[in-house]
Copies of this chain bind each other. A is one copy, B any other.
Amino acid sequence: MIYTVTLNPSMDLLVEIDGIEPNITNRMNNDLRVPGGKSINVARVLRRLGMPSVATGFIGGYTGEFVKDWLKMEDINTSFIEIDDETRINIKLLNQNIVINGRGPNVSINEETEFLYFMSRIQEGDTVIMMGTMPPSLDDDLQDRIISICKANKAEFIVDAEPKQLKEFIKRGPLLIKPNLSDVEKMFNVKLDTRELIVEYGFKLLELGAKHAIISVGEKGAYLFSGGHAFKGEGVKGKEVRSEGVRDAMIAGFIATYIRTSNLEESFKVAMASATATAFSKDLAKRHQIEDVLDKIIVQKLI
C-alpha cells in the first residue's frame, strides 16, 4: 500500500478579488475551498491514475472534517490521526498573487505517539510518501523518525524537503526525490548551466543514496536518473495556469506507473504528463487531461 503522509494538511481558501485595501470592507467576488497539502495532492492524482493510497497525518476541527470528507468523496482511503486542535486554513488571493498560510495546529505528544504507532505497522512492499511542512508544535526530527520506521520495516519512502534537509534525507535511500534545478544547485553550491553538469549532478544524487531522481528544469522539461541511466523529457508548450501541485502531480505520475510497470521511461512520461496537465489546469489534473498530454511528451534516453 502507498501511504501519503500530510503532517500539516490545510483547507485552502481560494479567493477571487479585484484588490484589497486597508480600512474598508473588501468583498470577495468568489471563493472556493479545497483540501491542501503536498501529499494530499499526491494522493488525489494517484487516485485519478487508478492507484489507491491511504492518506494519513494529523487532522482536526471543522476544517479537518472538510478535508477528510473531500478525500472520501474522491474515493481516497483516509486514516488520519484525529487531533484536538484545528487543521489550518491557507488563504490564496488569486490574481493578487498573495498567499497567506496558516501555521498549523498544536499536536500533542499523545497524538504524535498515536501517529508513530500507526506508521510502525507499515511493512515491506509499502511506500510512504511524506511531503510538505510540519505543524510548528512538532519536533523537527519527526520526519527523521518516520524515515527510520520505513527503513526498519523495509518500506520505501519518498520525501521532499528544503535543499539542506533533503541532502540528509537522500543519504537514507529514498525511492524517489524530485528537486528543481535550483534546489540541486543549492544542495551542492554549484551553478548547473550545461546539460553535462546537470547529468553529472543527477548521478551524484543517486550516489548519495536516492534510488530514482527527477530534476525538473521548469518549462524546459525534466531529467530522470536511475541506476546507470539518464533520461531527458522535453517540456510541452501551453498556457501555464498554476504552479502549485505540479511537483506533487509529477511524483504521483511516476509512482503510479512505476509501481505497476517498473518501466522507467513510461513512468517518467506519465510523471511529465501529470505535471504538465496540472500546470495547464485550474485544479490538479484529471486522468483524461493527463492522457491528452501524454502523447506530446517526448522522452529521450541520454545514457
Residues of A within 8 A of B (CB): 13, 15, 17, 20-31, 33, 61-63, 65-66, 86, 88-89, 91, 93, 96-103
Interchain nearest-CB distance for A158 vs B (Å): 22
Closest B residue, CB atoms, query A15: B100
When the two chains form their complex, are residues A25 and B103 in contact, meaning their CB atoms are under 8 A apart?
Answer: no
With contact pairs A13-B89, A96-B22 given, residues A28 and B101 touching in the complex (Cβ less than 8 Å): yes
Contact assessment for B100 and A28 in the assembled complex, using a CB-CB cutoff below 8 Å: yes
Q: Which chain B residue lies CB-closest to A24?
A: B99
Task: Report chain B residues within 8 Å CB of A23.
Answer: 97
CA distance A33 to B100 in the complex (A): 15
Would you call A100 and B62 a contact (CB within 8 A)? no
Tell me the minimal C-beta distance from A37 to chain B in angstroms.
14
Asked if B26 and A86 sit within 8 Å, CB to CB, the answer is: no
Q: Given B33, B62, B66, B99, which contacts A25 in the complex, CB threshold below 8 Å?
A: B99
Q: Which residue of B lies closest to A66 (CB)?
A: B62
Enumerate 13 A-B pairs (CB-CB under 8 Å) in ascending A order.
A13-B89, A13-B91, A23-B97, A26-B99, A27-B103, A28-B100, A29-B103, A30-B103, A31-B89, A31-B103, A62-B65, A89-B89, A91-B91
Shortest distance between the CB of A94 and any CB in chain B (Å)? 12
Report how far A190 CA is from B101 CA in the complex, Å: 47
A171 to chain B, nearest CB (A): 27
CA distance A91 to B139 in the complex (A): 30
Additional A-B contact list (16), CB under 8 Å, known A33-B86, A62-B63: A17-B100, A20-B98, A24-B99, A25-B101, A26-B98, A26-B100, A26-B101, A27-B103, A28-B100, A28-B102, A28-B103, A31-B102, A33-B89, A62-B62, A65-B65, A89-B89
Pairwise interchain contact B97-A22, C-beta atoms closer than 8 A: yes
Partner of A98, one of B22, B27, B30, B61: B22
Most B C-beta atoms less than 10 A away, residue of A25, A88, A91, A101: A91
Please report the C-alpha to C-alpha distance between residue A29 and residue B20 in the assembled complex, in whole angstroms.
20
A182 CB to closest chain B CB (Å) equals 15
> What is the distance, in angstroms, from A11's C-beta to the closest C-beta of chain B?
8
Alpha-carbon distance A100/B96, docked complex (angstroms): 13
